[in-house]
Amino acid sequence: MKEYTKILEGYSQVHHSWMYKLVDETEWGNIDVATGYLTKYWLSDSEYESYWRDIQNAIFTNAVGLPGKIFNIDFETKVVKGGCLFTQQDFLRIQKCMLEAGDQNLIVVENLKGEVTNEQPFKFRFPVGISWEEITSGNFVSSVLLESVYKEFFVFGDTSLWGMYTASDYEFPLDVIGFRVEVQDCFLELFNPSEDEIAEIKKWIPPGY
């Protein structure tokens, strides 16, 4: 049985109105398309444990999520409004910073926050140059991955220079972006909330941020 079989079985019949921005309700549940997508981009447990987990641990210090500190001490952080894994605009911003950092892969790992569950956590490895059209091409798998309002993810690349924690299921939906000084200019320039957003974020963020 493939590691992602539970995802195919568990989400092909799921219907929530917030998931239909990327996939029309009438097209939801295309197993063939979803399977092809998972075959290309699924990050196996063995590859994750043998290689990517060490990189993740070099960036993130907290596997539980907010309100605790997420990033290791040598990372600067910036908090912005969230609500899902990526909007197209935010994906393109992250992609630009990844290319400047020299990453080859975009890693997305769902954080189950220590909860005991029968769910298979989402784990993906995308090439850094993937287009928005391609990353959204997996039918219901793409929709659940990108639009879910209750999942939380660690996002990072090869270089250990940056990471993002999407805290969609926190009391208020927030994204926490961490970066080392080598790549700070890109993140500070592109993730620049308006004054109104900053005022709202200040009311939402946990103490210590």
What tens digit of pLDDT does each residue of 18-63 get? 666 888 888 899 999 999 999 999 999 999 999 999 999 999 997 7
How does pLDDT run across 76-95, given as a tens digit for each residue?
A: 999 999 989 999 999 999 99
Query: Domain for residue 150, yes or no?
Result: yes
Share of the chain above pLDDT 90, in %: 67
Query: Domain for residue 196, yes or no?
Result: yes
3-state secondary structure of 137: coil
Domain that holds residue 93: 5-204
Tell me whether residue 121 is exposed, middle or buried, using C-beta atoms within 10 angstroms of its C-beta: 0 to 12, 13 to 18, 19 or more. Answer: middle
Query: Domain for residue 104, yes or no?
Result: yes
Q: How confident is the model at residue 207 (pLDDT cuts 50, 70, 90)?
A: confident
Counting the structural domains of the chain, the total is 1
Query: Domain for residue 39, yes or no?
Result: yes
Query: Domain for residue 166, yes or no?
Result: yes
> Is 15 a residue whose pLDDT tops 80?
no
Query: In the predicted model, what is the mean pLDDT of residues 116-137?
Result: 92
Query: Domain for residue 108, yes or no?
Result: yes
Non-local (6+) Cβ contacts of 43 within 8 A are 52, 107, 109, 123, 124, 125
> Is 16 a residue whose pLDDT tops 70?
no
Query: In the predicted model, what is the mean pLDDT of residues 139-161?
Result: 94
Query: Domain for residue 16, yes or no?
Result: yes
Q: In this structure, what is the dihedral angle of CA atoms 149, 43, 177, 72, given to the nearest 10 degrees?
A: 120
Average pLDDT over the chain reads 91
Query: Domain for residue 209, yes or no?
Result: no
